[in-house]
Amino acid sequence: MTLRVVKVGTSLLRQRQETSTAEAIAGLSRTLAESMGRGDRTVLVSSGAVGLGCQRLGMTQRPLSLPGLQAAASVGQGYLMSLYEKAFSCHSIPVAQVLLTRADLADRLSYHNASATLNQLLEWGVLPVVNGNDTVSSDELKFGDNDTLSALVAAAVKADELILLTDVDSLYSADPRSDLNATPIKDVHDHEQIGELEEGAGSGGQWGTGGMATKLAAARIATASGVTVHLGDGRKSEPLQNILRGGRGGTVFHPHPQPLGNRKSWLAHALKPTGSLHLDPGACRALLNKGASLLLVGVTELEGQFDANQAVLLLNENGQEVARGLATMSSEKLSDLLTEQSSNQTTTGNSPVVVHRDAMVLMMPTTHQGSNS
């Protein structure tokens, strides 16, 4: 039995005038139902609410304002779910609507509850249809056409695979629609390679907010959590059928050999840091080489305003991110302690912990970053 997260974007649901969104969803349901009939479990992350809302309202262009986007999503979300309900009922598969905001994933308890709910639905044989809660959250409309959301969901449910369906057959060295010399990339093995590819990725089309850049970002998140990522051609059913039967997508992003555990994955990717701490070289070495907590004595400067238990970035003397984690105190208290430390020459022996190692994830390669729950 394989647990998969499948992401389908707006551009695929509205890709051709001769194929309606209802027909596209019906075809997708047939393919996924076949896989679920073999005992596999699936979470579907689906965009399309804004596009369908625009369609129902007779709009020819996607709204540019945030209220316009949220209003269009509120019109389209119910219609989108009605199409999924109708399509999967033909295969006797119940569906469940799951709307998530960034705040749901940034809060540890809500993240755990979302994970538990999704897993319960899977146990009951229900297909969860996940979408960003676009009617209330501005962050969701910036999720990258739900690519990032699909990666966070894959990490939350501990999926084996994440399938990103797109309108090309694989990842290319350049945009194949404009560069005849573009060559396909069949395998991506590490984060350094993903980073290099992200620098040259393009943006999405008129109806979607995604593009290859957001798919690469999703692959970076998912593979760090031990999830294999397939980039598949969603314009026809055969590529997805092949992947669901144990084959491979046009491009496969291989999982990290030492994946982050559930808690570390949440710290690294679901949280939105609200401040930054600059560290001295000694503190950086202690974090990277000794698995130490961050002590006050190692902090040279702070930026931003944050409360205790909010996420902060930990930066080296060059401004590069070394780690991120949850601060044990507010920025106001930390600022006071830094002033006191400067005046009193506080020593390491009585220096308070600013970020505990158990609430921290390292963002640079190290032997101390292995699996953590």
pLDDT tens digit sequence for 259-307: 777 777 777 777 788 899 999 999 999 998 888 999 999 999 999 999 9
What pLDDT, on the 0 to 100 scale, is given for residue 139?
A: 52
pLDDT per residue as tens digits for the range 173-230? 777 777 788 888 999 998 778 877 776 655 444 444 446 778 888 898 899 889 999 9
Closest CA to 267 of 72, 115, 148, 105: 105
Range scoring the smallest mean pLDDT among 14-23, 234-243, 268-277: 14-23
Which stretches within 57-203 are classed as H helix? 66-89, 102-106, 108-123, 147-156, 191-199
Average pLDDT of the chain? 84
- Rounded to an integer, the average pLDDT of 111-136 is 88
- Identical fold for domains 3-264 and 273-362, yes or no, is no
The first and second tokens of residue 240, run together, are 């997805």
What pLDDT, on the 0 to 100 scale, is given for residue 329?
A: 93
Is residue 120 over pLDDT 90?
yes
Instruction: Give the range with max mean pLDDT: 67-81, 130-144, 251-265.
Output: 67-81
What pLDDT, on the 0 to 100 scale, is given for residue 268?
A: 77
**CATH code of domain 273-362:** 2.30.130.10
User: CA of 118: how far to CAs of 42, 52, 112, 189, 304, in Å?
Assistant: 10, 25, 10, 29, 35
Query: What's the rounded Cα separation, in Å, for the pair 316 and 300?
Result: 10
Going from N- to C-terminal start, the domains of the chain cover: 3-264, 273-362
What pLDDT, on the 0 to 100 scale, is given for residue 205?
A: 45
- Rounded to an integer, the average pLDDT of 143-147 is 66
pLDDT band at 168 (very low <50, low <70, confident <90, very high): confident
What pLDDT, on the 0 to 100 scale, is given for residue 252?
A: 95
What pLDDT, on the 0 to 100 scale, is given for residue 136?
A: 60
pLDDT per residue as tens digits for the range 305-350? 999 888 899 999 988 989 888 999 999 999 999 888 877 754 545 7
For residues 42 and 236, the model is more confident at 42
Closest CA to 251 of 205, 182, 203: 182
pTM: 0.80
**CATH code of domain 3-264:** 3.40.1160.10
Instruction: For residue 208, give the 3-state DSSP assignment.
Output: coil
Ramachandran category for residue 125: left, alpha or beta (phi over 0 → left; psi -120 to 50 → alpha)? left
Closest CA to 90 of 19, 22, 42, 38: 22
